[in-house]
Amino acid sequence: MDLPKAIIFDLDGTLIHSAPDLHAAINVTLAALGRAALELPVVVSFIGNGVEKLVERSLTATGGYDAALRAQALEIFLEAYGQNMTTLTRPYCGVVAALGAFQQAGIALGVCTNKPIQPARDICERLGLSRFFKVISGAQDGLAKKPDPCAAFALHQ
């Protein structure tokens, strides 16, 4: 069997369990806005399509929003998440061993995530995962998010 030349992984929910830290940051955001906290399963159901959608869905669930409130909430969220993004986040069991085995086999590895690019890189660094990846690509202004293929094409940078 021929081995692949490269494997591109998603980050959240694939390599790492980050939902508890995302949950904590969204509840910090909601508290700062005078809104009720959300339970972890609710926040998990809101994850996908980037942090902007997580914030929007959380605001909708707790009373709605307009563009100004969304922008304010996103700023609060990014600050809270940036300070604590690896407090509870961990690689899933077996991920480090699997990445090491792929690397030993000469397979190039990359990450393509809807998480903003700098937090994605910071998390991989803090969790000791950066050493496995040739490229870590995250959400960037002006670039469509997954599942749009443009996100994967940005990996060459």
Contacts of residue 108, Cβ cutoff 8 Å, sequence gap at least 6: 5, 6, 7, 134
> How far is Cα 129 from Cα 18, in angstroms, rounded to an integer?
14
Helix axis angle for 19-32 and 67-84, nearest 10°, is: 130
Q: So which residues are the catalytic ones?
A: 10
- At CA 122, angle to CA 47 and CA 27, rounded to 5? 40
CA distances from 36 to 103, 124, 130 (A): 45, 31, 36
Residues 6+ apart with CB under 8 A from 87: 20, 21, 24
Look up residue 67 and give its amino acid: A
In the structure encoding, which two tokens stand for residue 94, read together? 């077996």
